[in-house]
Amino acid sequence: MSKWTSEAEARNQIKDLVKDYYEAFKKPEQEKEFKPGDRLSYASRVYDEKEMCSLVDAALDFWLTTGRFSDEFEKKFAEWIGVKFANLVNSGSSANLIAFMALTAPELGERQIKKGDEIITVACGFPTTVTPAIQYGAIPVFVDVTVPQYNIDVTKLEEAYSPKTKAVMIAHTLGNPFDLKSVREFCDRHNLWLVEDNCDALGTQYTIDGETRFTGTWGDIGTSSFYPPHHMTMGEGGCVYTNDPLLNRLIKSFRDWGRDCVCPSGMDNLCGHRFDGQYGELPQGYDHKYVYSHFGYNLKVTDMQAAVGVEQLKKFPSFIEARRHNWDRLRKALEDVQDKLILPEPAEGSRPSWFGFLLSVREESGLDRNKVTRYIEDHNIQTRLLFSGNLIKHPCFDQIRGTDAYRVVGDLETTDFVMTHTFWVGVYPGMTDEKIDYMAQIIKEAVNQ
């Protein structure tokens, strides 16, 4: 005989045990006193018993795939960021894939991206912003960046444009937004799609002509990542969001196997016309649940991941403020080594939600970036380079280098500078003032040794 009188009672008891487990074993880990020399990661998860209880709650449902927690997150995330539609996927990379693939749909008419069309982007960034275009057969057009913003050089946009250009797809770098006003105006002038890779900038605000919005909502489509180092986490996970109903339908189709039907998993015939349509060359009345209007994928998130995200989203505003505090404190602490290091600057009109703190070794300093980062790493502080540095220098380009599979505007001189002189350290919400101060001390030692 069960010792519980109801399922609700059983769930509550299980979640009470999870809380006790967190208090006994996980909370001490997170609140451990910092001592100089302890490992300082560039990023980490920040959570408490609420995420663990929500995760267990979803596991007890044993629905496993997209379900009630996913629905709740999509609704609340869309409300928070300020869009009509948000769709969860299994990673930020998948979010970029879906965002791009949606723009290849024939429903978009003359604006449909086809093989051989051009997409303006940058080589100084993360590869999965560019990979979908290359794999599809579109032509990425690489434009240089500027320092100390580390974002696209908007003075090169007109030079990058051609009659084949269909879209601009670029990321906001480590929380610092690119010049959205100039890029948005350029896209409007030439009737181009704008995809904001917002994976490293969730929570950043940007103002154009007196109107302030979150980054990711100024373009036609925005994307986010919920990988553990990012602004909030689901473990793995991502999101694609838009205000356009047609784009939203296309995003859902490409995410959900490419099917034409929009019924959620586990639900059938919401439209009442499941067996009376005519599609392609299929027989009349073919089951609409199995009609495929696009070459799609299954990139849905699990409900366990979404359950973690639901609780993370509640904490997210405090995460943003902590990142800003840590970034400001570190920048102030490093002001006296500006003769050796280029310190980052926020974009005009922005209030960034910082992902990391970018530093470039000045060429005239005579310092070697790798020696500087090795000293910092030797003191147990994680560093990272600005992702690919210059993507077209990587082995993945070996077989297409020098072909017409991509195009470069100018010489990417600043991109190459970033590749050889730039690195970054973390400012995630788990950083305390003591950790930030110690990190600043070691960075100063590294450039003054």
Active site residues: 230
Cβ contact 224:216 at 8 Å: yes
Q: Please state, as a whole number, how many other Cβ atoms lie within 10 Å of the Cβ of residue 163.
A: 7
Cβ contact 251:221 at 8 Å: yes
Exposed / middle / buried, residue 99 (Cβ in 10 Å: 0-12, 13-18, 19+): buried
Q: Please state, as a whole number, how many other Cβ atoms lie within 10 Å of the Cβ of residue 358.
A: 26
Q: Please state, as a whole number, how many other Cβ atoms lie within 10 Å of the Cβ of residue 131.
A: 17
DSSP letter at 302 equals: P
CA–CA gap between residue 70 and residue 371 (Å, rounded): 45
DSSP string, 128-191: GGTHHHHHHT-EEEEE-EETTTTEE-GGGHHHH--TTEEEEEEE-BTTBPP-HHHHHHHHHHHT
Q: How far apart are the first and last CA of the chain?
A: 71
